Structure 1
């Protein structure tokens, strides 16, 4: 029995099946994504979605979908599904689905009368090529398959409409065609492992709707171009492989290639393996020398802060230290270019945010736990020292070390923390001044840096940083701890933000904290009472002004950080629990993990979305797969295992 399996009753119920999405990636920036019934509900959905760097930094939908029709005795049974105006679905191919499961690769079984057809899908690693294998499991008479491609050739941020500019030209290639709708785009190759007939019947299918975009307040209607259809006979027991790609493939190799790609996949047969699979989907190799982590799908790029927060969980927690080192090698290049005020040559955005350097040290600190201090010093000792000295010397454009030992950053006019939503050009949450997690990170960095410096026989630096850490500690408690036992979110002159927010969990969770055990417990207790949900920590307490727990529609930018729940924050909360209460909290944290395991079959299969509503039923929102969330759940599972064996 597969871990991810759905029977006919769920698949044919569109209220249930349309909310479940499926993501496949190639680890080079391209992806394939739709619902489990192959009905696209987002403009980001598509069978082949690829970056086109010659045009812009966006991904582009080349092939939106592929309708398959079973033909027997002249009768046609179309297995496709599209949503049109007025809540009309056509051609309602979902009614033929008998079951769906996703162990190694997504597999759908269709029954049309006496015909039993299996469809399996895989995205070739490091190539912009989607492969689909159709196997006729059973048939009592001659069977023909007809394939109709729906093409878009547009950015994921737009919708396309019928026009006279789109090229209808195509060329025959080995068992298929190649075509390109607009100048500047790569050719789209559509090929089969078997000889077939292509019938040129160009037409536009008008008024296809994407309800997820309508829900988000964006344009949601588009027209898709269909150049014609491919047709071929298929015998009982026979398999046919279809490939859509930006490069031609030798069709005689397609069946072997499909088998090879399946063999390379790890099974998604439990919660942990699903998360490992999701972790690998964030891998991005722009070229042979650079490795990145995407912040999420389907619309996020590689962001600096997300990279360093995600990196330990997505690599070290699943024993993939080598990929940590590859990503950090690329990231270190970017960090040094930034600190040296050179043009950035790596594809990492927001590297100038003031807390990024501090999160980089935190990530390296987790590496030291896995690889040992000696190797950490060898690999990253100089980088840590250079970062700390860079900050102390006042070289960061928006990070000032004050005489009280605290770091000050200006966030009045531009968001500078992870709470970065903007409305009318201004931050919704204008966190500025002494920001609580910045200074918790700073204290932690100083103490960790001093420890490594001492082990490396650099007593001068070790002592200097220890003195700075002591100054930071005294000022931190004096500045942030209030009479109610929790921490101000930020302090700017006489302005103290009394909002109960989750950023105060970081000094409780970090290895080095300026807080005493009693102060940590007080902060943790308030986080538990006011912020904890089954889906992570709320971004704002319901008792604080402006609480808005539902992030949807036109007002989502306002509510993004005003009460929504974030699983990655829950990871630091769990770590804080374990550090303070050790094994006595194991069963509590295990129950929290059950809330995340439920998500494996509810939204995007086998992964964790970006955020959830802050109130029951805690509906998923935002990106369908989010790196920091997957990372922190994996890190929590790893911590659980370690504490379970501590006597």
Structure 2
């Protein structure tokens, strides 16, 4: 986490608070503020392995402070009916920045354990500092023998799975300079674990049985596994000592060319220095946008990665999501080029464009950056939106603009051709020009949850946001072709007819839009109040009639807006689910049936600011007043999201979803890219709309600088 923000000060250590470390390679480390893992996804080194996706390699360490003959636990684990060891009893404080730090006080000593991944290296550093709590305590301990006993606990399994004691694991350790090497399974790489200081490593292989993960149990999944201990370090210490252990997939990490171990403190200091200021690319954009936006821009670096082959990807969320086409394109502006990372944004768009197949953008990418699946109906259409926003950023750089157009224009035209040719699964262009998608048994839009193989929110027919994305793509391609003197993929007459067909089919008596229109022979239109209709207003080329903009925004704001995002279904609907909880079926059943999603604040803000520019008849407002009231109300509404929430769940990050009613409990991933990116983009838009109102509001927030 970016240091110096203060948002993690005075937080009471709790297993509900989670920290996150990343390294830009797709690896991560994650755990709780008590030090006890509560999810199968938690671990100190969860590595993105070539051709194999992420694996939890080093799950945790068991560490004890030994004073003469007394052993005092620092770490904690869950086992059936108990916590063992009970290091949480000695944990006095915890903080997340600039890296997770656990402070223990026992017998006149203060022991601090810090954890950091090294950027660009498959390596975790674990740093212990030992101090006397006072001079008098130090004097009393001067004749005592002090030792840290540290036992690495290995999982070596896919991060979605669990492991159990087995006879296939290779228990033998091999001595290396300042530590040992072990390769538990032939198919996985060896890990090299080293320690500083005066130590003995005692090989003593054993399985630690029935480790439990309480959150997995709550979520209705298997929750027990066995971890393997290859042996333990006995590190001799005294007050004032500062010892670093490293666990790495790189045999040469921490070793000089001469073969002599390097000072790990130098490597630690270099990593902390890298974190001490936002990356230069981020500073250029974020520095003038205020401390909150600067903080969010710095944090979003966690979602960027380079594959083993050097491809640039954006990860959808931690701890369990990889790279998704739709998520990437929605999160990309607020994570990269609007946050000052122009080169990263261009690189990711290039990866996406070059991996398009017959005009289709991949639904997912694996850990190597290879496309996996082309079964999303909307991912390809979000590409146009990214290109539109990118061109605004590039507007003052003609050379790069031309280079970008040469990349995106052919991809854009091929996307349109793919839809018209019927190459997009379960999708066809109707005679009206609108897009019909799916069957009653498919789930092809972002509302894709299933229970027992059936969609929870059937969106077959003509989903409103698909029409909005389709029209925006066509209108953008039309203007692009005109500028470049390319063949026109969609004429002005076709666009006008498309707008007319949309208005005729989708407009409801109250001025809002139905969620899914269906022809009479295909069933009843779905008039459920959902946030999807916002895209018909929010897109750069909006398909909704201007006369409906205010009605759409007002109704969505009244029924769906919450302090943490937008509900996915009106509370007035009989199918509304107020709480996201229970096992997989219960949670999937609530996923888009009311559950709040922060990312929707981006489209809501775009639509709100557009609606402020027109009157109820869709005519342009004659007075050029600032939308001060609307900006102020929205900022005040979402204040808990950027204050309270950044101090809970995944500290410093934003969750994927929230329950639909107070207290709006966070859930899903603890760090979700499109949540943070779209909130960041929302804040930039509100600041641009009324800077004075925004800055007055920001002064009321806790310090982010």
TM-score by length of 2: 0.85
| CA contact 1:175–1:195 (8 Å) conserved in 2 | no
Matching residue of 1:445: 473
Q: Does 1:330 align with 2:351?
A: yes
- 2:228 is paired with a residue of what secondary structure? strand
Residue 14 (structure 1) aligns with? none
Equivalenced residue count is: 635
What is aligned with 1:49? Answer: 46
In structure 1, the residue matched to 2:624 is none
Aligned twin of 2:250:
247
Give matches, 1:410-559, under 5 Å: 410-458=438-486, 461=488, 464-494=490-520, 495-554=524-583, 555-559=586-590
Deviations 1:261-291 (A, max 9, x none): 1111146996434423431111121135410
Confirm or deny: 8 A CA contact 1:297 1:626 kept in the other structure. Answer: yes
Task: After TM superposition, list the pairs within 5 Å mapping 1:222-241 onto structure 2.
Answer: 222-241=225-244
Alignment correspondent of 2:661:
615
Q: Is the 8 A contact 2:56 2:158 kept in 1?
A: yes
CA distance in 1 between counterparts of 2:188 and 2:496 reads: 58
| SS, match of residue 202 in structure 1 | strand
Higher mean C-alpha deviation, range 549-558 or range 214-223: 549-558
Paired residue for 2:88?
94
Moved more, 432-441 or 365-374: 365-374
Deviation by residue 1:333-356 (Cα, 9 ceiling, x = unmatched): 112455599x99943444441212
1:328 deviates by 0.6
Which residue is equivalent to 1:561? Answer: 592
Question: Residue in 2 aligned with 1:120?
Answer: 114
What SS does structure 1 have at the residue aligned with 2:649? coil
**Counterpart for residue 293 of structure 1:** 314
Q: Kindly indicate whether the alpha-carbon contact (under 8 Å) linking 2:19 and 2:96 is maintained by their aligned counterparts in 1.
A: no
Distance in 2 (CA, whole Å) between partners of 1:371 and 1:108 is: 44
2:617 alignment counterpart: none
1:472 and 1:284 map into 2 onto residues whose CA distance is 39
Is 1:81 matched with 2:76? Answer: yes
Map of 1:312 onto structure 2: 333
Q: 1:21 aligns with which of 18, 21, 30?
A: 18
Q: RMSD value over aligned CA atoms? A: 2.4
1:281-307: CA deviation from partner (whole Å, max 9, x where unpaired): 111211354101111111111111111
Shift of 1:184: 1.1
CA distance in 1, matches of 2:562, 2:172: 55
Structure 2 gap ranges (5+):
133-137, 256-260, 279-289, 613-626, 694-705
- Distance, in Å, in 2 between the alignment partners of 1:340 and 1:538 is 28
Q: Displacement, 1:604?
A: 0.5
Structure 1 residues 7-406: aligned runs within 5 Å:
7=10, 10-11=12-13, 17-53=14-50, 56-57=52-53, 59-86=54-81, 88-138=82-132, 139=138, 140-141=141-142, 142-248=145-251, 249=253, 250=255, 251-266=261-276, 271-336=292-357, 339=360, 346-372=369-395, 375=401, 376-406=404-434
- 390-399 or 481-490: which moved more? 390-399
Q: Deviations over 1:388-446 (max 9, x none)?
A: 34434444343322221211112422211001112222222121121111111122222
8 Å CA contact 1:302, 1:349 repeated in 2: no
Q: How far 1:645 moved relative to its partner?
A: 4.3
SS at match of 2:405: helix
Contact 1:302 1:347 (C-alpha < 8 Å) held by counterparts? no
Asked if 1:625 is matched to 2:659, the reply is no
- Report the alpha carbon displacement of residue 586 of structure 1 after superposing the two structures with TM: 1.7
Q: Distance in 2 between matches of 1:340 and 1:477?
A: 29
Comparing 586-595 and 21-30, the one that deviates more = 586-595
Contact kept, 8 Å, 2:94 with 2:103, in 1: the verdict is: yes
Question: Structure 1 residues 645 and 278 mapped into 2: Cα distance closer, same or farther (>3 Å)?
Answer: closer
1:602 pairs with 2:648? yes
Distance 2:161 2:425 in 1: 36
- Length-normalised TM-score, structure 1: 0.93
| Range 201-210 or range 417-426, more displaced | 201-210
Provide the secondary structure at the position in 2 that maps to 1:135. Answer: strand
Alpha-carbon distance in structure 1 between the residues aligned to 2:240 and 2:60: 25
Alpha-carbon distance between aligned partners in 1 of 2:347 and 2:319, rounded to the nearest angstrom: 23
Conserved? CA contact 2:334–2:677, under 8 Å: yes
Cα distance in 2 between the residues matched to 1:283 and 1:207? 35
* Deviation of 1:450 (Å): 2.2
1:173-195: per-residue Cα shift (whole Å, max 9, x none)?
11111112223121121111334
Does residue 1:409 correspond to 2:437, yes or no? yes
